[in-house]
């Protein structure tokens, strides 16, 4: 799977244009503040409908403009296809093969993995950062997970409204049962994903950065360990925990249980990376995680994702950078990189100056 070309209109500081890409390496060169990251962001936005820099769509629309549009043509193992997004203020419209579709139908048509300096927050940031990250990554490979998560969030809001109104009628109990069912589905899929990717994460970290270390990713849910439990057993454990906290929920007026309370922890050599790992180790952990996502998506969808790396020159030392480049040289993956320096690799090069991209 690879992107053939990309068009963008009113995207941040970029001058409107169309770019043709190489199937293998694409390198965006320029000084800081010229628009390198914005090009990578436009690719990511077109594929996911989201920015990796902001949650506010107005932030990515060119100053004093109201509309934004991006269009991308790609080729998978079957045929050539295209996707596009149009926005007016915060309202987005999605298109697949030039037909308007819902976001549910749009998600996962083309898969992308980004590696940006801000990804360090996956380790040092809040549990919400990690939940949002893993929720999207699991959804890319498993649309049923996305549907369960969307249903759960709707029920969670309704359930909290019942608490606010102190309404614990029969209708509340009906929503409660559905609430528990969605929790079981979500935590089961999260656990299965983390169990698989943790193995890959350790292998990739050792292969790329330190073959003597052990890196483990663990999933910590809000009601206890579910290792080796089936869905019925998880439901039983969940209901037992609910009996202990239901009076507190009624007292506080909101839900104290569910996937929105969960966290994901990185353990390097038995110690939590957030507190004990160096900056270099943290960067390497995140990159190994992103590489492991490639392997997961290939297993789940039999297709390679697109990979984006922003600011590789300043983020990694020369040894780690060479290891990363060598990894991609040996894989059939389309790679997009931004850098202030020429990396000396065989790639299609784009020079960027004041939002103008030439290549």
Residue 67 — pLDDT band, cuts 50, 70, 90?
Answer: very high
**Closest to 204 measured CA to CA, from 192, 194, 216:** 216
Local structure of residue 14 (DSSP, 8 states): P
What domains, with CATH codes, occur in the chain? 1-111+303-359 (3.40.50.300), 119-302 (1.20.1050.90)
For residue range 288-337, list pLDDT tens digits in order. Answer: 999 999 999 998 888 899 999 998 877 777 777 788 888 898 889 999 99
Residues 6+ apart with CB under 8 A from 276: 268
Task: Report how far apart, in Å, the C-alpha atoms of 6 and of each of 72, 110, 175, 200 are.
Answer: 4, 13, 44, 32
**Closest to 245 measured CA to CA, from 265, 224, 226, 229:** 224
Question: Burial, 261: exposed, middle or buried (Cβ in 10 Å; 0-12, 13-18, 19+)?
Answer: middle
Task: Report how far apart, in Å, the C-alpha atoms of 327 and of each of 13, 204, 210, 283, 295 are.
Answer: 32, 10, 15, 16, 13
Instruction: Say if residues 109 and 83 touch (Cβ distance below 8 Å).
Output: yes
Residue 229 — pLDDT band, cuts 50, 70, 90?
Answer: very high
Which residue numbers belong to the known binding site for ATP? Answer: 30-37
For residue range 239-270, list pLDDT tens digits in order. Answer: 999 999 999 999 999 999 999 999 999 999 99
Please identify which residue in the block is written with the tokens 């893993």.
Answer: 134
Which residue numbers belong to the known binding site? Answer: 30-37
Please identify which residue in the block is written with the tokens 């020429």.
Answer: 342
For residue range 11-28, list pLDDT tens digits in order. Answer: 999 999 999 999 999 999
The mean pLDDT of 338-344, rounded to a whole number, is 88
Residue 322 is predicted with a pLDDT of 82
Each as own residue / partner, the long-range contacts of residues 301-304 (CB below 8 Å, 24 or more positions apart, any chain) are 301/108, 301/111, 301/141, 302/77, 303/1, 303/76, 303/77, 303/111, 304/1, 304/331, 304/332, 304/333, 304/334
Task: Report how far apart, in Å, the C-alpha atoms of 173 and of each of 77, 177, 259 are.
Answer: 47, 6, 19
The mean pLDDT of 86-102, rounded to a whole number, is 93
Q: Which residues of 15-37 are buried (b: 16+ CB within 10 A; e: fewer)?
A: eebebebbebbbbbbbeeebbbb
Residue 300 is predicted with a pLDDT of 85
């Amino acid at each position: 799977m690879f992107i053939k070309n990309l068009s963008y209109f009113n995207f941040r500081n970029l001058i409107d244009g169309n770019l043709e890409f190489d199937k293998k390496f694409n390198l965006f060169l320029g000084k800081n503040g010229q628009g390198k990251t914005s090009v990578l962001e436009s690719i990511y936005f077109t594929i996911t409908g989201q920015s990796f820099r902001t949650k506010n769509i107005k932030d990515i629309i060119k100053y004093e403009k109201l509309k934004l549009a991006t269009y991308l043509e790609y080729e998978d193992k079957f045929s050539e296809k295209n996707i596009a997004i149009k926005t007016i203020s915060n309202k987005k419209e999605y298109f697949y093969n030039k037909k308007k579709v819902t976001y549910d139908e749009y998600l996962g048509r083309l898969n992308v993995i980004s590696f940006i300096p801000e990804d360090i927050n996956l380790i040092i940031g809040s549990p919400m950062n990690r939940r949002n990250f893993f929720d999207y990554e699991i959804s890319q490979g498993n649309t049923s997970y996305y549907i369960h998560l969307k249903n759960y969030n709707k029920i969670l809001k309704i359930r909290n409204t019942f608490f606010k109104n102190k309404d614990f009628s029969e209708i509340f109990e009906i929503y409660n049962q559905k609430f528990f069912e969605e929790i079981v589905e979500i935590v089961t899929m999260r656990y299965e994903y983390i169990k698989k990717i943790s193995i890959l994460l350790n292998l990739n970290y050792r292969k790329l950065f330190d073959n003597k270390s052990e890196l483990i990713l663990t999933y910590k849910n809000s009601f206890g360990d579910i290792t080796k439990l089936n869905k019925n057993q998880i439901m039983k454990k969940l209901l037992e925990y609910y009996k202990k906290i239901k009076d507190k929920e009624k007292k506080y007026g909101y839900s104290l249980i569910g996937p929105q309370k969960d966290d994901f922890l990185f353990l390097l050599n038995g110690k939590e990376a957030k507190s004990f790992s160096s900056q270099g180790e943290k960067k390497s952990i995140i990159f190994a995680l992103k590489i492991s996502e490639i392997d997961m998506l290939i297993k789940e969808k039999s297709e390679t994702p697109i990979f984006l790396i922003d600011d590789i020159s300043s983020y990694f030392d020369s040894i780690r950078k060479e290891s990363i480049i060598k990894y991609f040289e040996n894989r059939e993956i389309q790679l997009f990189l931004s850098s202030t320096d020429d990396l000396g690799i065989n790639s299609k090069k784009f020079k960027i100056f004041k939002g103008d991209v030439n290549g």
